[in-house]
C-alpha cells in the first residue's frame, strides 16, 4: 500500500507545491487507487506518477473549498476517455452533488461511466470485503471532514505440511483452515486453524484529515493509526493566525499524533510562505513533540506497511 502526495500546498499553487490531493494505491493484486481531495491540476500531477486515472475507483473529498475540489470536474470528465474506466464512487460534504451538476450542466459534460455520489453523514460511509472507511466532521470555516480507512485483518499463511502431518487431506478442508475455520476429520478429530496457520495479518489504519483547527474528532479518527496525514498550514508560533483561518500549526499536528497514539505523522497543506528549504525546520519543530513527524512533498510516495511486516506488498 502506497500513499502519493499530489499536492501539498495551501490555498493556491506555487512553483514548488500544487494544491491538495493525494492518492492511495491499494496493494496487489488489486492495484487500484483511491483519491483524497482533488485540487486544481490534480490530473496533471497524476501524469507524473504510475497511477492511471482509469484505475481510480473512489474519490473522497474533505470539503468544498476550491483548493480541495476545483480539479474534480476535469478529472471526472477526462476519465471518460480512458479505456476500462468502470464505476467510480465519490464521497464528500453536502453540496458536492449540486456543485458537479452545475459544472457539468454549464459545460455540457457527460460521463461515460457510472458516478455514485454519497454525501456524508458521520460514521461508516463505505465498507467492502477488505476495507472500511469512516468519516467524522472537523472544525473549519466550512463543513469539513476527516477520513479513517481501516484495512481488515487477513488470515495468516497456512502451514500445509503441518496440516498434512495431522491427517488433513488435500482439498476443501485445507481451504477452510486457511480461512480461519476449524475442521473435523473423518476419524472424528478436530484440527484447529490456529494450530496450522500463522497469526492473522493485521490490517493498516490510515487517517487523512481535511483542514481543521484542533478538535475532538481528530483523536477519534486518528486513534492508533499507522499513518496520520494532518494539515500544518503554519509554524508553531502562529497558532493565533492559524485559528483565525481555521487551520493548524506544526505543533498542533504533532500533538494530535502524540495524543492519538499514531505511528507516523505526515504534515501537508503548507502555506505558500514556506519554501522547500524551510521544511527541515518545520519538521524539527514537530519532532519536539512527536519524533515520527515528516513533511509531505509533491509527488512523494510513501509505503504504508502492515504492522510488523516488511515495507512492501509487492509491485503493482
Looking at the predicted structure, is the pLDDT value of residue 289 above 80?
yes
CA 146 to chain CA centroid, Å, is 10
What CATH number should be reported for the domain whose range is 2-154+205-303?
Answer: 3.60.15.10
Q: Which helix (H) or strand (E) holds 227?
A: strand 227-231
pLDDT digit string, tens, across residues 134-187: 999 999 999 999 999 999 988 778 888 888 888 888 888 888 888 888 989 988
For the question of residue 226 being annotated catalytic, the response is no
Catalytic hit among 67, 226, 298, 313? 67
Looking at the predicted structure, is the pLDDT value of residue 310 above 90?
no
Looking at the predicted structure, is the pLDDT value of residue 299 above 80?
yes
pLDDT digit string, tens, across residues 234-288: 999 999 999 999 999 999 999 999 999 999 999 999 999 999 999 999 999 999 9
Encode burial over 224-246: b for 16+ CB neighbours within 10 A, e otherwise: ebbbbbbbbbbbbebbeebbebb
Q: For the chain, which residues make up each domain, given as ranges?
A: 2-154+205-303, 160-196
C-alpha closest to that of 91 among 123, 56, 116:
116
pLDDT digit string, tens, across residues 81-108: 998 899 999 999 999 999 999 999 999 9
Measure the CA–CA gap between 275 and 302, rounded to whole angstroms.
21
pLDDT digit string, tens, across residues 177-233: 888 889 899 888 999 988 888 888 899 999 999 999 999 999 999 999 999 999 999
pTM here?
0.90
Region 106-112: mean pLDDT is: 95
Binding residues for Zn(2+): 63, 65, 67-68, 140, 211, 269
Binding residues: 63, 65, 67-68, 140, 211, 269
Amino acid at each position: 500500500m502506497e500513499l502519493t502526495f499530489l499536492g501539498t500546498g495551501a490555498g493556491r499553487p506555487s512553483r514548488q507545491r500544487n494544491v491538495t490531493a493525494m492518492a492511495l494505491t491499494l496493494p496487489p493484486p488489486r492495484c487500484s487507487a483511491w483519491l483524497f481531495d482533488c485540487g486544481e491540476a490534480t490530473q496533471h500531477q497524476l501524469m507524473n506518477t504510475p497511477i492511471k486515472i482509469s484505475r481510480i475507483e473512489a474519490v473522497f473529498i474533505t470539503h468544498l473549498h476550491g483548493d480541495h475540489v476545483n480539479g474534480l470536474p476535469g478529472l471526472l470528465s477526462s476519465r471518460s476517455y480512458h479505456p476500462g474506466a468502470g464505476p467510480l464512487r465519490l464521497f464528500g460534504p453536502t453540496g458536492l452533488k449540486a456543485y458537479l451538476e452545475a459544472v457539468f450542466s454549464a459545460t455540457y459534460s457527460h460521463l461515460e461511466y457510472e458516478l455514485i455520489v454519497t454525501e456524508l453523514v458521520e460514521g461508516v460511509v463505505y465498507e467492502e470485503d477488505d476495507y472500511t472507511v469512516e468519516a467524522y466532521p472537523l472544525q473549519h470555516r466550512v463543513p469539513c471532514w476527516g477520513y479513517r480507512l481501516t484495512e481488515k485483518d487477513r488470515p495468516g499463511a497456512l502451514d500445509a505440511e503441518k496440516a498434512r502431518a495431522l491427517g488433513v487431506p488435500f482439498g476443501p478442508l485445507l481451504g477452510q483452515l486457511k480461512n480461519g475455520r476449524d475442521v473435523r476429520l473423518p476419524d472424528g478429530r478436530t484440527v484447529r486453524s490456529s494450530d496450522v496457520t500463522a497469526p492473522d495479518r493485521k490490517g493498516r489504519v490510515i487517517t487523512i484529515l481535511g483542514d481543521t483547527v484542533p478538535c475532538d474528532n481528530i483523536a477519534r479518527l486518528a486513534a492508533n493509526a499507522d499513518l496520520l496525514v494532518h494539515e500544518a498550514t503554519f509554524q508553531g508560533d502562529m497558532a493565533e493566525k492559524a485559528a483565525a483561518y481555521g487551520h493548524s500549526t506544526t505543533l498542533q499536528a504533532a500533538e494530535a499524533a502524540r495524543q492519538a497514539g499514531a505511528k507516523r505523522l505526515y504534515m501537508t497543506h503548507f502555506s505558500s510562505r514556506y519554501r522547500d528549504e524551510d521544511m527541515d525546520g518545520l519538521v524539527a519543530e514537530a519532532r519536539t513533540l512527536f519524533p515520527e513527524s515528516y513533511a509531505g512533498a509533491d509527488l512523494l510516495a510513501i509505503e504504508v506497511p502492515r504492522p510488523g511486516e516488511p515495507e512492501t506488498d509487492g509491485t503493482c
